[in-house]
Amino acid sequence: MQEQVKFYNAKQISVMMGICYAKALAFIKYSGINYIRINRTYLVEKAVFNEFISTTKSVNVEL
């Protein structure tokens, strides 16, 4: 049985981080985290997101 890779989208990240959707998109695009873009949807692998959050002290993203 194949293991499915789980992803967070920008809306889920905005809810988890307590920030607006626009800032979540800016975080994904400009923080240096690896992401996948499919059409207009930005996806971040759950393991990558969790590791990034646990190892990164701060990220400054200007809109």
SS (H, E, C) the chain: CCCCCCEEEHHHHHHHHCCCHHHHHHHHHHCCCCCEEECCEEEEEHHHHHHHHHHCCCCCCCC
Report the pLDDT averaged over residues 2-22: 90
**pLDDT recorded at residue 2:** 64
Name the residue among 12, 60, 7 with its Cα closest to residue 38.
Answer: 7
pLDDT per residue as tens digits for the range 19-34: 999 999 999 999 999 9
Is pLDDT larger for residue 1 or for residue 44? 44
pLDDT-above-90 percentage for the chain: 71
CA 18 to centroid of chain Cα atoms: 13
Structure-token pair, residue 41: 């949807």
Q: What is the CATH number of domain 7-55?
A: 1.10.10
Confidence tier at 4 by pLDDT (50, 70, 90): confident
